[in-house]
Structure 1
Amino acid sequence: MDRHSGEGTDRSIRTTEDVLRLLDGLFAPDADRWTDDAASWWDSFYGDRSRAVPFFPAKPDENLVAHLDDGLIEPCRALDLGCGPGRNALHLAARGFEVDAVDLSPAALAWGEERARETGTKVRFHRGDAFELTRRTLGGPYGLVYDSGCFHHLPPHRRVSYLQLLDRVLAPGGYFALTCFADEHLGSEVSDAELYRDGRLHGGLAYSAESLRWIFQDLTEVELRPMRERGEDAEVLGLPFLWTALFRRPA
């Protein structure tokens, strides 16, 4: 046995993915909120459905509804990342999209499946790590990749994985839509370097408009704006502490 191999020694890095997983461990237990081991944390989060969590009601994001109403995005095959109880996935399916929805939490997916049965809506729910699922099962292409609240829970090094995911599954000419914590409103504004020194994600990362444009610079910006505020009685979700962004992959 080679004394520098992974077995019998602490020499476990051979691939880029090995490096990423090592960095994941630097954020434990905070990073457990998004890794595959996070099911119990998110299950407890979704366990009490009566809590006044703005993301719990079956309301789609106001920006998503606006994009569909304006005809920017036509029905196509769609992927919902971090779908939770399926509020956006169900709306897409009701509007004629063929939807795959991914989340780590069995409790969230069970809730989404209940809603789908109650409304007669067809969504394919998948439990697991989106990075792994899109490598092995959900290969795309998707005309729309939608993310409402997943991206801002990723540690900085996983942005690399995220961009690779988009490169794998987003169809040429397809759309990527995102909502995430906005700087000066909600989320941590600690620098990337300081996050590694702290070993914590502080509950989620805030982004500036400029940082989002820089991260997704290989895509064409269609729109980037604050989410429009909507009241509790509205049929859509509108929270002003979030950015909403729509990008398109060059055809």
Structure 2
Amino acid sequence: MDRNIRSVDDVLKLMDSLFAPEADRWTKDASGWWDRFYEDRSKPVPFFVAKPDENLVSYLGRGLLTPGRALDLGCGAGRNALRLAASGFEVDAVDLSPGAIAWAEERAREAGADLRFHCGDAFAAGAPSGPYDLIYDSGCFHHLPPHRRVSYLGLVERALVPGGHLALSCFASGAMGSELPDAELYGSGGLEGGLAFTPESLRWIFAGLEEVELRRMRDEPEDSHCFGEGFLWTALFRKPATPA
């Protein structure tokens, strides 16, 4: 008979187990799903391109973000981390997949960019902890099960400086991702490739932050210098400079 729950972390790990074998998409055991995903770099995956997100380029161009310390959360092959470094940010880039990190490091060497890469769980002990002026997330959030939003919001709260920004892209309801209610996901035991969100749900989840901009990502043509897919929301939030 097991009686091994005595902390929030124990509860989160138990709930992770309800999603096996999908759990290697967000837990520290990254030897599985994401490494297989990144193994073939020639696959026609939209975000394999060496281009930054169009919303990131827009934020920088309009002066909504200014250089400081940045965390690229789920950095993949490093396309946004490289743009942040080129824009004057001091960048920590984190991903679960050793294959993704290896690819990102290759791109950084080719570009002569100075970035710090970390392969592992961004929510676990030992991960880069900031403080950061910017947390940038292009596609990590929608791959988390509902209970791991607790970990995500905890990271934002402790790692983001007052006045700092959270920028994220995630699946847009009606365009991409699972529409199942949170509770039903625990019965199905899967995330169906990722979760869709409405603007209202994003505003509710991140109610402790100030909304700067929330819009659909612009579709970018193949010859564009930016990445852009219309099935994503892009959101920029600001942590209040003083507690509410």
Match of 1:41 among 11, 33, 36: 33
Length-normalised TM-score, structure 1:
0.94
Q: Provide the rounded CA distance (Å) in 2 between the counterparts of 1:155 and 1:183.
A: 16
Question: Counterpart in 2 of 1:28?
Answer: 20
Asked if the contact 1:31–1:201 (Cα under 8 Å) also holds between the matched residues in 2, the reply is no
Unaligned runs of 5+ in 1: 1-8
Matching of residues 86-235 of structure 1 within 5 Å: 86-132=78-124, 135-235=125-225
Aligned residues: 241
CA contact (8 A) 2:24 2:32 kept: no
Give the match's secondary structure for 1:39.
coil
CA distance in 2 between partners of 1:128 and 1:139 (Å): 13
Asked if the contact 2:146–2:182 (Cα under 8 Å) also holds between the matched residues in 1, the reply is yes
* Percentage of identical aligned residues: 68
Alignment deviations for residues 94-147 of structure 1 (CA, whole Å, 9 cap, x no partner):
111000000000010000000000010111000100001xx4342211000000
Question: d(CA) in 1 for partners of 2:171 and 2:25?
Answer: 16
Q: Where does residue 80 of structure 1 map in the other structure? A: 72
Gap runs ≥5 in structure 2: none
SS in 1 for 2:65: coil
Contact conserved, 1:23 with 1:157, CA < 8 A, in 2? yes
Task: Find the structure with the greater CA-based Rg.
Answer: 1
TM-score by length of 2: 0.97
**Cα drift, residue 191 of structure 1:** 0.4
| Alpha-carbon distance in 1 for matches of 2:67, 2:25 | 32
The ranges of structure 1 where at least 4 consecutive aligned residues each deviate by more than 3 angstroms after the TM superposition are none
RMSD across aligned positions (CA): 0.8
